[in-house]
């Protein structure tokens, strides 16, 4: 297990752009939470609930407890954590005019 310090400095409910497997999406930063992340050679599985050692062993992963990790809720309802994706602040007015193609500083949380 490993403790990763807080990295997010933006305000709660701030508009964000999140890099996902199906392209950049818009959403909101809703705050920092403790995340139980299982790292495998191919992926990061993350949850706010401890998965237990059996689940970790089943996928041959390594557990990291990430305290104060950014929680991001996309407009389509999907939830991502800072440890899973690249993301950055996206001011409301900028997102409205440039949609999802604008260039913003990107943060990798976690």
Domain ranges in the chain are 14-97
Flag residues of the chain having pLDDT under 50.
Answer: 1-6, 8, 97-108, 110
Render pLDDT for 70-91 as a digit per residue (tens, 0 to 9).
Answer: 999 999 999 999 999 999 888 7
CB 71 within 8 A of CB 94: no
DSSP bridge pairs for 31? 71
pLDDT at position 6 is 47
Cα dihedral 38, 43, 48, 49, rounded to 10, equals -50
């Amino acid at each position: 297990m490993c403790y990763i310090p807080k990295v997010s400095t933006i305000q709660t409910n701030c508009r964000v752009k999140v890099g996902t497997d199906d392209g950049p999406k818009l959403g909101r930063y809703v705050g920092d939470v403790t995340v139980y992340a299982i790292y495998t050679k191919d992926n990061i599985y993350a949850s706010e609930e401890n998965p237990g050692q059996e689940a970790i062993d089943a996928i041959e992963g390594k557990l990291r407890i990430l305290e104060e990790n950014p929680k991001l809720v996309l407009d389509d309802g999907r939830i991502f954590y800072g440890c899973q994706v690249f993301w950055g602040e996206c001011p409301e007015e900028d997102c409205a005019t440039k949609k999802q193609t604008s260039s913003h500083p990107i943060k990798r949380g976690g």
